[in-house]
Amino acid sequence: MTRRTLMSSSPVTLENLLRGLLDSVAFIRTPENKFQVVKSLAKGLHLARVEDAEEGYQNVLGIYERKIYPSVDGIGNVIRLLGARNEKVRRLRAEDLVDESVIKKLEKEGRF
């Protein structure tokens, strides 16, 4: 999620950021990289044994999807929850906030 001003003022930066994210997700989800990912998780979580990061690895696989399209329904839920306390948020429409143009461009490039 980002502001439209960033999309218009720094599209190359945004695309590069998303490319990096997609490359990271692809690396994590590639079975051949499992040991490296688990080792990295163990190090980042300061675990004494690499094997203790196995559960975290399984959780990461469930969290990160290869396709990262924004969800209009998900944005709508955020608006509903935050709008309960904020009139400005309540006036927003999820359909007006979602812009898939960069993601579609990356998909055409074969990133996912």
Is residue 106 in a domain?
no
Which pTM does this prediction carry? 0.71
Q: Based on C-alpha coordinates, what's the Rg of the chain?
A: 18
- Do 46 and 73 share a structural domain? no
- Do 15 and 61 share a structural domain? yes
Amino acid at 96: D
- Angstrom distance (rounded) from CA 66 to CA 55: 20
- Do 41 and 16 share a structural domain? yes
Q: Is the pLDDT of residue 105 over 80?
A: yes
pLDDT at residue 28, as a whole number: 93
pLDDT digits (tens, 9 = 90+) for 21-72: 899 999 999 999 999 999 999 999 999 999 999 999 999 898 887 778 888 8
Q: Is the pLDDT of residue 84 over 90?
A: yes
Q: Beta-carbon neighbour count of residue 42 at 10 Å?
A: 19
- Do 74 and 53 share a structural domain? no
Contact 103, 70 (CB under 8 A): yes
Rounded mean pLDDT of 104-109? 89
Amino acid at 94: A
Domain hosting residue 76, numbered range: 68-100
- Do 40 and 60 share a structural domain? yes
Count of structural domains within the chain = 2
Is residue 95 in a domain?
yes
Contact 77, 94 (CB under 8 A): no
- Do 78 and 52 share a structural domain? no
Is residue 32 in a domain?
yes
- Do 60 and 74 share a structural domain? no
Return mean pLDDT, the chain.
90
